[in-house]
Structures are given as C-alpha cells and as structure tokens.
C-alpha cells in the first residue's frame, strides 16, 4: 500500500514532463526576415568599398552564427529595375532553404533602382499572416523611402492588424533626415533602430539584433 503514493507521484511527474516536452517540441520556431536595400545608392562607397559589398560581407559573417533553431529568410528591393517602385522580391521565405543557398542568392543581387521600403515591409508582412511565431524583420537601408509618402504609417497599420512581427532597422551610412524616418519605422514596428557607418559598426548592429532575437524568443542560444 505504501508503494501506491510513490507510483502516483512518479506517474504525475512523468506526464508533466511528457506534456512539457511535447509543448516545447511543437512550439513555433522564431523567424528572421532580412530586407536588404539594393537601391542604386548602395553602390556608394565607404572606405573605398561599395556599401552593398560591405553589407554582403557582414551578412556572410552573421547568418551562420544564428542558431539553427531560428529560421532565416531574405528579401530585397531595387535590384531589378531602375525607377520602379514595385521592384521588391521575397528571395527566400524563412526556413525555405539552407543558409548557404540564402547567401548565394544574396551574392547575386546588384543594386539598380528605387527605395520602396513601405511596399517591401508590406509584402513581407503579408507572408506572415497567421504565423504563430513572431518574426523579426531586419531592414538594412542606406536611405529613406523614395516611393511612398508615409512609411511609418504603413508600419503602424501593419502592426495594429495583428501580424506578429517586430521591425528592427539598421541605418547604414545615413543622413540625419534619413535616420529620423528609419527610426520612426523601427519605433512603429516595436523594434529598435541601429546606426552603422562602416563594416565593423554594421556587424556590431547585426550582432545586437541577434541578441534581441534571443531575448524575444527566450532561446538558450542564438
């Protein structure tokens, strides 16, 4: 008779551990979607090197360091046509391909056109509708919106619609006016604005974003 309470306690602990493990296994994976500025201004140079090349080199360093538990995707704007405000492409959705493929696709991007930031964030957010996991959208831009008059308003409306995302923005070699607009978008998207003027500060900014993804998702390691 004395063994029954012990058995009951054992079974209770077993089932609690079982359901906790099931819940953790079925929990949605955190996601990152990078939006890379590939407008014509990204051919501008920093320390003798094109900004697009600096950005690619830094992303090559940061993406492999992100935990495999985090799904990573890539989109870009301004890389197909000049003067086209619809020039935006989701290159890979989070987790759609391995990271080597993502980096290879990124390397093929060549800056050409406009800076349709509002459209880019809208198109990315539309793909996240219904997702249980919160997606961190990382916008890397060297300038302000050139197609839509109120990108901050667009981000606010998307956030208010219930789509689960946080928008972090990295202003790469931007003016004070450009910084103001990019910071507004980050605030509207519930995220953080980071400034970067060269390769080392861009890498530091992306590392800070990576830490934020870890904090938001409560992963042991990102």
**Position 3 confidence tier, pLDDT thresholds 50, 70, 90:** low
Query: CB within 8 A of 212, min separation 6: which ones?
Result: 136, 168, 191, 192
In the predicted model, is pLDDT for residue 221 greater than 80? Answer: no
**Position 215 confidence tier, pLDDT thresholds 50, 70, 90:** confident
In the predicted model, is pLDDT for residue 173 greater than 70? Answer: yes
* 169 phi, psi to nearest 5 deg: -125, 130
Q: What is the mean pLDDT of the chain?
A: 89
CA neighbor of 43 nearest in space, from 90, 79, 86: 79
Sheet containing 135-141, strands listed edge to edge, beginning at the edge strand earlier in sequence: 88-92, 71-77, 31-37, 135-141, 165-172, 193-196
**Position 4 confidence tier, pLDDT thresholds 50, 70, 90:** low
Q: Which pLDDT score is estimated for 216?
A: 82
Continuous H helices in the chain: 3-26, 51-62, 99-107, 117-126, 151-160, 176-188, 199-217
Which position has the higher pLDDT, 98 or 27?
A: 98
At which residue do the structure tokens 């301004």 appear? 78
**Position 170 confidence tier, pLDDT thresholds 50, 70, 90:** very high
The domain ranges of the chain are: 29-217
For the domain made up of 29-217, the CATH class stated in words is: alpha beta
What are 28-39's pLDDT values in tens digits? 688 999 999 999
What are 124-137's pLDDT values in tens digits? 999 999 898 899 99
């Amino acid at each position: 008779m004395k063994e029954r309470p012990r058995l009951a306690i054992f079974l209770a602990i077993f089932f609690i551990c079982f359901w906790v493990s099931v819940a953790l296994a079925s929990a949605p994976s955190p996601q990152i979607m990078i939006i890379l500025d590939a407008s014509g201004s990204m051919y501008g140079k920093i320390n003798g090197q094109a900004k697009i090349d600096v950005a690619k080199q830094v992303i090559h360093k940061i993406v492999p360091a992100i935990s495999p538990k985090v799904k990573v995707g890539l989109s870009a704007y301004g890389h197909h046509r000049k003067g086209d405000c619809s020039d935006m492409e989701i290159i890979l959705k989070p987790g759609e391909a391995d990271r080597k493929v993502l980096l290879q696709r990124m390397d093929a991007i060549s800056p050409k056109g406009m800076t349709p930031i509002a459209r880019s964030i809208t198109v990315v957010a539309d793909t996240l509708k219904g997702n249980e996991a919160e997606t961190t959208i990382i916008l890397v831009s060297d300038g302000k919106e050139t197609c839509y008059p109120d990108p901050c308003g667009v981000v606010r409306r998307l956030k208010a619609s219930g789509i689960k995302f946080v928008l972090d923005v990295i202003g790469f070699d931007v003016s004070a006016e450009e910084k103001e607009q990019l910071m507004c978008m980050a605030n509207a998207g519930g995220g953080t604005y980071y400034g970067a003027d060269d390769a080392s500060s861009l890498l530091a900014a992306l590392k800070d974003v990576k830490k934020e993804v870890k904090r938001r998702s409560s992963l042991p390691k990102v």
